[in-house]
């Protein structure tokens, strides 16, 4: 099992305001709630499929805080619900994706968690792992080519994706051209059922940075503040012409890979219970309360508000229609398309 | 042909036509970048981008690492973010590592994002045999990609079509795979209109009208089919020759109109028969025009073996020839 570090014990705000700390915590609550909602709706038979991101709340809330909406671009993967809401997608948009409604950005075409939003700067991506990394690098090339300093591309992936050839090819190209690109690896130690030890001999992914000729760093992805500090430093370096970085945050995956996976076939209940002792959500909550950033009452109210917002989004999205059968035929090419028949 | 400011023509071969078209695209739109292996100081292995790097600089003429999946993948990202990349795969045989980026990504970006993201990308690549290219410098790849909605696939044969269709591909808002038969690069010369023009994607060209047989082909074999048709004309037979030019979308109307007139169809291509372009054309004609036919549809294609060998007899056995095509034509006319 990967060494994930420990949860934060003392508060070092790393330049963040109390409001920003609370915004990160709210993002973590929202991610957890929306994440669970997907699994609940699946068990209720209302949605065919959901993907979980429990355990990734801190790394995603911290990374989202380092993202500049309107300037930066995010090229995420399918376990990035917290990043998606962290950069501005609404719970309603998340539920539209879960329910595959016509009003969804993707028109109900893609799996849940495969978000796309040009307005938020979130690049469309598929389920094919690492296929999005060259896209992120191409977008970073466009920024540099047009002289758009102050903008950077943040790409994310899990540990398993770093085995793909396109991951390597992209890192190499980004380094050659000194692109405004940050590769954030969310290392939770599992690629569906395959443990890190079967994925790579050297378990510390960040060490590959030296081979590409770029800065690399490993950090505790259970700590949203440390995550923010590391991602922000890398993004600032990218935005100011300092080139790409490879950063690796360690965390856990509490849930099975998806609603279609049974993780008890490859790991034990005790193992998952041990992981849950490092749950970043109560840890960050305790830190905020212990340091007088917020009272327990205020955070409880926040939790209720997140539940209310999730419930409202669920009802609103569920009430909307599916795409029409005729929508199958649109957006194949620009303009009307007469299918070959 | 939509000619805008043509006052004259220039004689060019296919290399010169592609090069001139790329040059104009680079001149006219600074969103255009070219990326691929050895496109910089070497000017591409066929000298198609010769001297480009001196004029347009290394940020627009990008010598990439040897990594085909990311040549296409990075071009996809550039296209999604507002550039107009022209990616080059040095030889079509090397495109396999990029298969997912073309089929799984480029072809589906508009569709999967419900039109929110688009991928205006051109992927150029030299293909085809008859040049002692052996197993990995002579393949035809079109059948591996033409199954895929969301892609457009062009395979022009003449310099004027190279220019007009490459311009159309560059202007196109969707991903286009642009196939250039490498044996025609310097072999085939022709008049090319000056100035900017485009040829609509999806339109076949009836090169020679005839009454007894329709022959549909593309690439190098179009030229050989024309030669064969001349031989048959000398023997008193009348053959119609159609240059497909666009493999996807395909010009159903032109093919059907011709078959309904001649009542016989021969499809000629360099790629092997099983599951090839000819299979789709014959199925389409069988579905739409069966009762116009006076003979079974015939496909004259490469044998069903993995590739042409390097040794001359192996290459010659794999490739057709004007004589062999003429013989296939005679047999069908006589049926």
Size of interface A-B (CB pairs under 8 A): 139
User: What's the rounded Cα separation, in Å, for the pair B25 and B124?
Assistant: 14
Question: How close B98 comes to chain A (CA, Å)?
Answer: 10
pLDDT at site A330: 96
Helix (H/G/I), strand (E/B), else coil: B102: helix
How would you classify the pairing of strands B122-127 and B189-193? unpaired
Complex confidence, ipTM: 0.96
**In this structure, are residues A7 and A225 in contact, taking their beta carbons and an 8 Å threshold?**
no
User: What's the rounded Cα separation, in Å, for the pair B44 and B36?
Assistant: 8
- Is residue A235 less than 8 Å (CB to CB) from chain B? no
* CB-CB under 8 Å, B150 with A109: no
Handedness of CA B161, B163, B164, B170 (dihedral sign): positive
DSSP state letters, B129-174: -SSS-GGGSS---HHHHTT-TT-EEE---SHHHHHHHHHHHHH-SS
Does B4 score more than 90 pLDDT? no
User: What's the rounded Cα separation, in Å, for the pair A209 and A212?
Assistant: 5
**In this structure, are residues B150 and B119 in contact, taking their beta carbons and an 8 Å threshold?**
no
When CB atoms are compared, the residue of B73, B83, B249 closest to A131 is: B73
* CB-CB under 8 Å, B77 with A128: no
Q: Which residue of A has its CA nearest to B77?
A: A135
Q: pTM for the complete prediction?
A: 0.97
When CB atoms are compared, the residue of B59, B81, B100 closest to A131 is: B100
First-to-final CA distance of chain A: 53
In A311-337, which positions are buried (b, 16+ CB within 10 angstroms) versus exposed (e)? eebbeebeeeeebeeeeeebbbbeeee
Instruction: Give backbone dihedrals phi and psi of B118, rounded to 5 degrees, phi first.
Output: -130, 170
Q: What percent of chain B has pLDDT over 90?
A: 98
Q: Band of the pLDDT at A10, cuts 50, 70, 90?
A: confident
- Is residue A166 less than 8 Å (CB to CB) from chain B? yes
pLDDT digits (tens, 9 = 90+) for A90-123: 999 999 999 999 999 999 999 999 999 999 999 9
pLDDT digits (tens, 9 = 90+) for A318-339: 999 999 999 999 999 999 888 8
User: What's the rounded Cα separation, in Å, for the pair A35 and A335?
Assistant: 37
DSSP state letters, B224-259: HHHHHHHHHHHTT--EEEEE--EEES--HHHHHHHH
**In this structure, are residues B160 and B183 in contact, taking their beta carbons and an 8 Å threshold?**
no
pLDDT at site A1: 40
Partners of residue A124 in chain B, C-beta under 8 Å: 80, 109, 112-113, 116-117
Partners of residue A131 in chain B, C-beta under 8 Å: 73, 100-101, 104-105
What is the CA angle A16-A18-A24, rounded to 5?
A: 75
Does B3 score more than 60 pLDDT? no
Q: What percent of chain B has pLDDT over 70?
A: 98
Question: How close A127 comes to chain B (CA, Å)?
Answer: 10
A positions 282-311 inside 8 Å of B (CB): none
Handedness of CA B233, B237, B238, B241 (dihedral sign): negative
Does A223 score more than 60 pLDDT? yes
pLDDT digits (tens, 9 = 90+) for B276-327: 999 999 999 999 999 999 999 999 999 999 999 999 999 999 999 999 999 9
* CB-CB under 8 Å, B113 with A135: no
Residues facing B162 on adjacent strands: none
* CB-CB under 8 Å, A110 with B65: no
Partners of residue A138 in chain B, C-beta under 8 Å: 73-81, 83, 85
Tell me what the mean pLDDT of segment A148-170 comes to: 98
A positions 100-129 inside 8 Å of B (CB): 104-107, 109-110, 114, 116-118, 123-124, 126, 128
Q: Band of the pLDDT at A4, cuts 50, 70, 90?
A: low
Q: Where are the alpha helices (DSSP H) in A185-279?
A: 196-199, 208-212, 224-239, 269-276
- Is residue A182 less than 8 Å (CB to CB) from chain B? no
Enzyme catalytic residues of B: 137
- Is residue A163 less than 8 Å (CB to CB) from chain B? no
The DSSP 8-state label assigned to residue B103 in this structure reads: I
Helices then strands, each counted (H, E), chain A: 12, 7
Q: Which residue of A has its CA nearest to B84?
A: A142
When CB atoms are compared, the residue of A73, A104, A332 closest to B150 is: A332
Question: How close A7 comes to chain B (CA, Å)?
Answer: 36
Q: Band of the pLDDT at A340, cuts 50, 70, 90?
A: confident
Instruction: Give backbone dihedrals phi and psi of B334, rounded to 5 degrees, phi first.
Output: -80, -10
* CB-CB under 8 Å, B111 with A332: yes
Does A7 score more than 70 pLDDT? no
A positions 192-231 inside 8 Å of B (CB): none
Partners of residue B250 in chain A, C-beta under 8 Å: 340
Does A68 score more than 50 pLDDT? yes
User: What's the rounded Cα separation, in Å, for the pair B110 and B119?
Assistant: 7
Rg value, chain B, Cα = 20
Does A2 score more than 90 pLDDT? no
């Amino acid at each position: 099992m990967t060494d994930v570090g420990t949860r934060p014990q003392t508060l070092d705000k790393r330049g963040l305001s109390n409001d920003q700390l609370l915004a990160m915590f709210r993002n973590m609550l929202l991610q957890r709630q929306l994440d669970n909602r997907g699994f609940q709706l699946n068990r209720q038979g209302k949605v065919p499929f959901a993907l979980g991101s429990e355990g990734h709340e801190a790394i995603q809330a911290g990374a989202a805080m380092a993202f500049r909406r309107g300037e930066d671009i995010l090229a995420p993967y399918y376990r990035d619900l917290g990043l998606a809401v962290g950069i501005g997608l609404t719970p309603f948009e998340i539920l539209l994706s879960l329910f595959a409604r016509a009003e969804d950005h993707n028109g109900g075409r893609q799996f849940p968690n495969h978000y796309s939003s040009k307005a938020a700067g979130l690049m469309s991506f598929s389920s094919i792992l690492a296929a999005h990394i060259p896209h992120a690098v191409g977008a970073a090339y466009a920024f540099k080519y047009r002289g758009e300093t102050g903008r950077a591309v943040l790409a994310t992936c899990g540990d398993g994706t770093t085995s793909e050839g396109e991951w390597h090819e992209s890192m190499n190209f980004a380094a050659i051209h000194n692109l405004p690109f940050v590769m954030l690896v969310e290392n939770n130690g599992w690629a569906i059922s395959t443990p890190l030890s079967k994925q790579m001999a050297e378990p510390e992914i960040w060490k590959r940075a030296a081979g590409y000729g770029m800065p690399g760093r490993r950090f505790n992805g259970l700590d949203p503040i440390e995550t923010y500090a590391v991602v922000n430093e890398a993004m600032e370096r990218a935005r100011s012409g300092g080139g790409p970085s490879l950063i690796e945050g360690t965390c856990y995956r509490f849930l099975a890979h998806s609603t279609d996976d049974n993780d008890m076939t490859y790991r034990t209940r005790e193992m998952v219970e041990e992981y849950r002792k490092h749950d970043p959500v109560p840890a960050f909550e305790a830190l905020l309360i212990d340091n007088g950033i917020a009272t327990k009452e205020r955070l409880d109210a926040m939790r209720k508000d997140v539940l209310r917002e999730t419930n409202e989004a669920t009802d609103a999205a569920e009430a909307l229609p599916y795409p029409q059968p005729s929508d199958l035929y649109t957006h194949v090419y620009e303009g009307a398309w007469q299918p070959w028949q | 042909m939509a000619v805008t400011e043509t006052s004259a023509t220039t004689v060019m071969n296919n290399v010169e036509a592609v090069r001139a078209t790329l040059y104009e695209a680079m001149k006219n739109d600074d969103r255009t970048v070219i990326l691929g292996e050895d496109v910089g100081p070497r000017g591409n292995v066929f000298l198609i981008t010769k001297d480009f790097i001196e004029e347009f600089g290394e940020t627009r003429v990008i010598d990439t690492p040897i990594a085909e999946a990311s040549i296409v993948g990075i071009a996809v990202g550039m296209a999604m973010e507002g550039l107009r990349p022209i990616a080059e795969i040095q030889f079509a045989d090397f495109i396999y590592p990029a298969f997912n980026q073309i089929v799984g990504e480029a072809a589906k970006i508009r569709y999967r994002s419900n039109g929110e993201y688009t991928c205006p990308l051109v992927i150029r690549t030299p293909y085809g045999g008859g040049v002692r290219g052996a197993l990995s410098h002579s393949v035809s790849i079109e059948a591996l990609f033409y199954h895929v909605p969301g892609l457009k696939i062009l395979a022009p044969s003449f310099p004027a079509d190279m220019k007009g269709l490459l311009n159309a591909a560059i202007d196109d808002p969707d991903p286009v795979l642009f196939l250039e038969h490498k044996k025609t690069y310097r072999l085939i010369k022709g008049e090319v209109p000056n100035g900017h023009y485009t040829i609509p994607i999806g339109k076949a060209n009836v090169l020679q009208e005839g009454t007894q047989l329709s022959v549909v082909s593309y690439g190098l074999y179009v030229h050989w089919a024309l030669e064969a048709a001349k031989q048959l004309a000398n023997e008193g037979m009348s053959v119609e020759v159609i240059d497909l030019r666009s493999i996807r979308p395909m010009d159903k109307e032109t093919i059907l109109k011709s078959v309904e007139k001649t009542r016989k169809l021969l499809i000629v291509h360099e790629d092997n028969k099983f599951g090839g372009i000819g299979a789709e054309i014959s199925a389409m004609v069988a579905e739409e025009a069966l009762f116009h036919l006076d003979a079974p549809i015939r496909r004259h294609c490469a044998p069903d073996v993995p590739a042409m060998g390097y040794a001359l007899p192996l290459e010659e056995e794999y490739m057709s020839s004007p004589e062999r095509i003429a013989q296939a034509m005679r047999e069908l006319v006589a049926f």
